[in-house]
Structure formats: C-alpha cells, structure tokens
C-alpha cells in the first residue's frame, strides 16, 4: 500500500516523506494520493473495537488517511450528530480542543514526528493554534503560532498559551501572518501545519467519512460548511470524491460553502464561475473566518465543481442571529460555525435548498471558544440580595 504527494494542477508526483507543501514546477497545491482500494466494512468493525487507535474518529479510517500503526492521538473525532428542527448538526466543537482542527492536526503532527521535526508552526485565527499547541505538547515538539494581534478571541488565545505554544502576535491580518509563517518555516526549517500541508486535509476528510458512517452510508442531500482558508471545503470535496469512487456511497451530496460577507473572496469568485481568484481585506465579527486570501482556493474550486456545490455569503447580523438560534437549541457554537444555519436559511429563501432535503450543518467550533460573542446583557438582571428584589426581577 503506497501513498505519495501529487500536484493538483500538473499531476507531478513527489515522495510522501519529503518536506514540501507546493509543486516545484507550477507552485500548485499538493494532495496525498494512494493506490489501494479501501473496504468500508473495516471502518464499521472498528466502531466496536477496544484498540486505542480505533477510538479515534480519524485513525479509524487510517488506510484512507495515513497508513501508520502509531499516531499522536488524543483520541479525537467521534463527534455527535444532532437532529434539531428538521436539520442535522455534526458538532465538531466536541473535539478535544473544541474545534474540528484536531482531526487535521493529529495527522500533521504524527507526520511531523515521522519526519523527525522538532518544531511545528502555523498561522491562525485561533483554533488551529490551540489545536497545534495541544498536539505539539503531547508529542514534545516546540510549537510556534503566528496570530493577527488583537484579532483572535480571548478564549482561543488563552488556550493556545496555556498549552505552552510560543505566540507571535503579528501586527497585521491573518493573511499577513500566513505569508510570514510560510517564509519563516522555509528559513528556519520548521514544519508547517497549516491546511496547505496536505496531511491536514487528509485528517479533515474524516468529518465527512464519520458523518456518512453515522448515516449508515446513506448520503445526505446537502452538507453545509463555513469557509475561511478553505481547508475544510477542500477536504470535504476530496472525502466525497474518494467515498463515491470507492463505492461507499451511491450518490454525491452537494456541498454548500458559506462565507461572511466581509470576508468573501471565494463567494466572489464563485459568482463569476471561478473565472478569477479574488483577494479582499477581510472584516467580520466571526474572527475565525476573517480571511481575505484563502490558501486552498484551487482545491476548494474542485470541491464545489465535483459536488455540484454552491457558495453563499451571509452578513454578520445574519450569522449572529443564526448563532442565537443554535445556542437557543442548547447546542451552541462559535460565530463562524453559525454561517451554516444562516446559509441554509438564505438558500431556502432563494429556493436553492428545499424543505425535506436532508441537510447537515457542520458546526466547526465550541460555544466557549469566543466568550465575547456569547455575553447577552439582556439576560442579566443585577439586584440587591433581598427576596423583594428577586420577586420584582421575576415579575
């Protein structure tokens, strides 16, 4: 069983154990490819296995992720699928560090250890950095994170620092941090674990595979995902292509990738039939997806094309209203995750999505990730410590 890296634009192949993120010939993104056929029955059997590696919702699918018998695993994945108001929600905030990033990170850090790296780095809006910090701590690697100063939530920053990462707070936005970390990794020989690293994408595919398994391999009509740096959109497309090619599912679901209006380069490109790539200066309350120049653009275009997918945008007001709905169902999520429900509402109003279609929203981050976005002053009544005051307040 072999695995290799392949350029998504020119098809050139590289050894899987080379440290590289782009193609020498045309600068294209790389993806992990393999030549073995995978039988999904093994994945189902492992759900009742007691072996530690099978407890992971990533490594349960290892033949299609990275073929190892030893992994840096928490374990992660195994997130629940909730049905509420006729929609399904897969809550990736239930991962060990509170976001979907752990699925890609367990694979990238496992690969870092295999390659003999001593330090790992990423640029981040907060969740990747927290995840990297946790997995690097577990593996005993030095973690260095590049974050836009003052533009990530206090919860994510505190979490990243607590796990022990060195944090470079960049005076600039995420896109500047991303450019800088790529150069720094090259210069200082640090292993880069942003989603430009193809092993991250391999791990993130398991959100879809686990979801399909949860649905007993009956594909839903729609899968809805927030879109920032476009790693997840890319991973979802690859996961669906591979599941369909292997015969695990009989038909392709459609992907709906949702951006915030203030950070919508992918949406702009979609409306022009992907004729050109856009770069914007990003601004949105959903700091996780405050990204103007998404790294995985080319792979995400393929994901939308191959799934007959769609890209939509929602305003900050729309996504915050959707967050209140999700929070009010007792599920809860961070603002970026709520673009999914806001997107569904918009696409239903446009008649693109129909009532009765089986639709899964992927909630990418936990409600506690962004404390600032949660505080609802209208629900707090400060009173004197008397029963009279209690009675008045509850009237």
Residue from 221, 260, 264, 270 nearest 338 by CA: 260
**What is the smallest separation between the CB atom of 293 and ligand F0G, expressed in angstroms?**
12
334 sits near ligand F0G (criterion: CB under 6 A): yes
Tell me how many residues contact ligand F0G (CB under 6 A).
Answer: 23
Query: Looking at beta carbons only, is 112 or 177 nearer to ligand F0G?
Result: 177
Q: Which is nearer to ligand F0G, 111 or 232 (CB)?
A: 232
The answer to whether 227 contacts ligand F0G (rule: CB under 6 A) is yes
- Using the rule CB under 6 A, is 95 a contact of ligand F0G? no
Residue keyed to tokens 């440290």? 19
User: CB-based contacts of 148: which residues, under 8 Å, 6+ apart?
Assistant: 125, 169, 170, 172, 173, 174, 176, 177, 290
Instruction: Give the interface segment with ligand F0G, choosing from 14-22, 24-32, 55-63, 126-134 (CB under 6 A).
Output: 126-134
Shortest Å distance, C-beta 53 to ligand F0G: 25
Instruction: Closer to ligand F0G by CB, 54 or 208: give it.
Output: 208
Restricted to residues 335-374, the positions that interact with ligand F0G (CB under 6 A) are: 336-337, 364-365
Task: Report in angstroms how near the CB of residue 145 gets to ligand F0G at its nearest.
Answer: 9
Which residues are bridge partners to 257 per DSSP?
225, 311
Q: Does 160 bind ligand F0G (CB under 6 A)?
A: no
Q: According to CB under 6 A, which residues from 264 to 283 bind ligand F0G?
A: none
What is the C-alpha to C-alpha distance for residues 325 and 338, in angstroms, rounded to an integer? 9
Residue 259 interacts with ligand F0G (CB under 6 A): yes or no: no
The H helix count followed by the E strand count for the chain is 13, 13
CB atoms within 10 A of CB 276: 8
181 makes contact with ligand F0G (CB under 6 A): no
Task: Work out how close the CB of 370 gets to ligand F0G at its nearest, in angstroms, rounded to a whole number.
Answer: 9
Least separation in angstroms between residue 104's CB and ligand F0G is 9
* Interface with ligand F0G, residue 197, by CB under 6 A: no
DSSP-derived 3-state class of residue 157: helix
Of the candidates 230, 285, 319, 338, which one interacts with ligand F0G according to CB under 6 A? Answer: 230
What value, to the nearest 5°, has the Cα angle with vertex 103 and ends 84 and 315?
A: 50
Integer Cα distance of 199 and 36 in angstroms: 17
CB of 365 to ligand F0G, least distance (A): 3
Per CB under 6 A, which of residues 280..299 are in contact with ligand F0G?
Answer: 288-289
> Which of 281, 265, 85, 36 is CA-nearest to residue 174?
281
* 363 dihedral zone (left: phi>0; alpha: psi -120 to 50; beta): beta
Q: Is 385 helix (H, G, I), strand (E, B) or coil?
A: coil
Under the criterion CB under 6 A, does residue 226 sit at the interface with ligand F0G?
yes
Which residue carries 């981050």 as its tokens?
Answer: 365
- Residue for token pair 């108001």: 85
SS3 220: coil
Q: Which residues bind ligand F0G (CB under 6 A)?
A: 99, 101, 124-128, 195, 226-233, 288-289, 334, 336-337, 364-365
């Amino acid at each position: 069983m072999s695995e290799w890296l392949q350029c998504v634009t020119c098809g050139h192949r590289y050894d899987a154990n080379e440290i590289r993120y782009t193609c020498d010939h045309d600068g294209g993104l790389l993806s992990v490819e393999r030549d073995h056929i995978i039988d999904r029955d093994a994945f189902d059997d492992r759900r009742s296995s007691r072996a530690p590696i099978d407890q992971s919702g990533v490594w349960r699918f290892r033949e299609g992720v990275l073929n190892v018998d030893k992994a840096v695993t928490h374990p992660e994945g195994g997130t629940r699928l909730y049905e509420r108001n006729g929609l399904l929600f897969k809550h990736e905030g239930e991962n060990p560090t509170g976001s979907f990033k752990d699925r890609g990170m367990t694979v990238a850090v496992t690969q870092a250890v295999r390659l003999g790296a001593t330090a790992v780095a990423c640029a981040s809006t907060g969740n990747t950095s927290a995840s990297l910090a946790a997995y690097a701590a577990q593996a005993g690697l030095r973690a260095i994170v590049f974050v836009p100063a003052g533009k990530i939530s206090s919860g994510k920053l505190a979490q990243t620092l607590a796990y022990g990462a060195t944090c470079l707070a960049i005076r600039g936005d995420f896109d500047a941090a991303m450019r800088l970390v790529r150069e720094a990794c090259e210069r200082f020989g640090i292993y880069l674990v942003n989603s430009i690293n193809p092993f991250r994408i391999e791990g993130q595919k398991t959100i879809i595979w686990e979801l399909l398994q949860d649905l007993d391999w009956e594909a839903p009509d729609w899968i809805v995902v927030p879109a920032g740096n476009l790693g997840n959109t890319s991973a979802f497309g690859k996961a669906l292509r591979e599941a369909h090619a292997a015969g695990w599912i009989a038909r392709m679901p459609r992907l709906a990738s949702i951006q915030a209006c203030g950070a919508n380069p992918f949406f702009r490109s979609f409306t022009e039939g992907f004729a050109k790539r856009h770069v914007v200066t990003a601004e949105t309350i959903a700091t996780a997806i405050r990204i103007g120049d998404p790294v995985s653009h080319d792979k995400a275009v393929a994901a939308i094309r191959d799934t007959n997918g769609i890209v939509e945008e929602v305003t900050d007001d729309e996504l915050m209203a959707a967050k209140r709905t999700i929070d009010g169902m007792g599920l809860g999520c961070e603002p970026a995750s709520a673009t999914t429900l806001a997107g569904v509402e918009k696409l239903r109003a446009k008649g693109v999505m129909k009532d009765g279609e089986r639709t899964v929203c992927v909630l990418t981050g936990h409600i506690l990730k962004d404390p600032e976005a949660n505080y609802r002053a209208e629900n707090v009544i400060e009173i004197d410590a008397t029963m009279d005051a209690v009675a008045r307040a509850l009237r």
